[in-house]
């Protein structure tokens, strides 16, 4: 699921830069494809007056625009840490996630208001064949972008890019809902178009909840508990480590920062204890992937006192 990695610190930095390059490339492709898709749909909205298609088009435009903050975030994430930003700029991806949440919320408001307005003041639709074609185009464009974003996001460990891919996939299914509106109008139910617009609004709200939850979890340094268990397990099996007392993980952009505290035999020298940090870090990188900084504190295990004999 993650980008291949080595065990050398310099190679880890190279991996992070390569991951950012892949993320930027995915953002560019998504922006181009969704921009063309939404533009084509907007032209059909102008000649058809379909509110369902308008709702879908607005959402597709917002999805395309989410590529801009992601692009900026990936570029910032490549900058070196400074005395002010000592952890680097990886958290820019989380800020981009907040922008994605705001755009999804705006899409829901626009789609919902326009759908209610058309329910109160119905208007005839024209060129339904073109509306049907626009729904198909919208689904194809969004699904292509979704597959690409999710694949790259999982490969480089970027939750923001994966979330944006899921966003595009949901947009694709709302494009299919536009087709249902056209079929309903053809079947003699003229209110099918604004009704489908409301259904799209509901779908956007569901997406909004899931995305806001994931972004909020990142901002609170939340990680998948399975990652913590795997890191703990990897450290426990490093030769020379007798006990693992603490493991902490946090995402910094699309890289995992790992902090751990382990205990060793009190008979080992300080030099031998220091030598354990390298294989311990290698074990964590080998187990998790997408790992950035690894900070391991080694401490001697407390000696057990023998019971008093009478």
Q: Has residue 47 got a pLDDT over 70?
A: no
Q: Has residue 9 got a pLDDT over 60?
A: no
Q: Does 310 map to a domain?
A: no
Residue with tokens 């002010």: 84
Q: Each residue of 178-218: pLDDT tens digit?
A: 777 777 777 777 777 677 778 878 877 887 888 788 878 88
Q: How many CB atoms lie within 10 A of CB 14?
A: 12
Same domain, 180 and 109: yes
What would you measure as the largest C-alpha separation in the chain, in angstroms? 101
Domain that holds residue 247: 225-300
Task: Name the residue among 116, 111, 102 with its Cα closest to residue 178.
Answer: 111
| Least trusted range by pLDDT, from 37-51, 102-116, 136-150, 240-254 | 37-51
Q: Each residue of 219-267: pLDDT tens digit?
A: 888 888 998 999 999 898 888 888 888 999 988 777 788 989 988 888 7
Same domain, 54 and 181: yes
Q: How many domains would you assign to the chain?
A: 2
Distance CA 161, CA 27 (A): 8
Q: Does 3 map to a domain?
A: no
Span 38-55, mean pLDDT? 70
- Taking CA atoms, 185 is separated from 5, 23, 106, 150, 219, in Å, by 55, 42, 27, 35, 45
Q: Each residue of 145-159: pLDDT tens digit?
A: 888 888 888 777 776
Contacts of 93 (CB under 8 A, 6+ apart): 70, 73, 74, 77, 158, 159, 160, 253, 254
Q: Does 33 map to a domain?
A: yes
Same domain, 211 and 260: no
Distance CA 166, CA 159 (A): 10
Same domain, 121 and 242: no
Of 180, 195, 219, the residue at which a domain comes to its end is 219
Same domain, 289 and 145: no
Same domain, 199 and 239: no
Same domain, 175 and 140: yes
On whether the CB atoms of residues 63 and 171 are closer than 8 A, the answer is yes
Instruction: Check residue 250 and give its pLDDT.
Output: 87
Of 180, 199, 219, the residue at which a domain comes to its end is 219
On whether the CB atoms of residues 16 and 255 are closer than 8 A, the answer is yes
């Amino acid at each position: 699921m993650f980008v291949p990695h080595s065990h050398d610190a310099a190679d880890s930095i190279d991996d992070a830069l390569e991951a950012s390059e892949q993320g930027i490339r995915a953002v560019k492709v998504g922006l181009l494809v969704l921009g063309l898709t939404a533009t084509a749909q907007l032209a059909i909205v102008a000649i058809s007056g379909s509110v369902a298609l308008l709702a879908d088009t607005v959402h597709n435009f917002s999805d395309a625009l989410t590529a801009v903050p992601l692009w900026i975030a990936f570029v910032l994430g490549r900058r070196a840490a400074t005395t002010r930003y000592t952890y680097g700029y990886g958290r820019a991806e989380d800020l981009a996630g907040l922008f994605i949440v705001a755009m999804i919320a705006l899409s829901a408001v626009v789609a919902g208001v326009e759908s209610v307005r058309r329910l109160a003041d119905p208007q005839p639709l024209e060129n339904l064949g073109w509306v049907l074609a626009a729904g198909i185009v919208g689904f194809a464009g969004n699904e292509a972008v979704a597959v690409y974003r999710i694949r790259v996001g999982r490969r480089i460990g970027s939750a923001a890019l994966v979330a944006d891919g899921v966003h595009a996939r949901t947009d694709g299914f709302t494009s299919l809902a536009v087709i249902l509106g056209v079929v309903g109008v053809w079947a003699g139910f003229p209110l099918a178009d604004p009704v489908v617009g409301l259904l799209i609004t509901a779908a956007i709200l569901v997406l909004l909840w899931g995305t806001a939850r994931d972004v909020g979890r990142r901002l609170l340094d939340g990680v998948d508990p399975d990652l913590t268990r795997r890191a703990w397990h990897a450290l426990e099996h490093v030769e020379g480590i007798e006990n693992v007392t603490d493991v902490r993980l946090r995402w910094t952009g699309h890289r995992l920062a790992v902090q751990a505290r382990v205990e060793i035999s009190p008979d080992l020298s300080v030099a031998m204890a220091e030598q354990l940090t390298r294989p311990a870090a290698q074990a964590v990188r080998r187990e998790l992937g997408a790992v950035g900084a690894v900070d391991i504190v080694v401490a001697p295990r407390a000696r057990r006192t023998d019971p008093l004999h009478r």
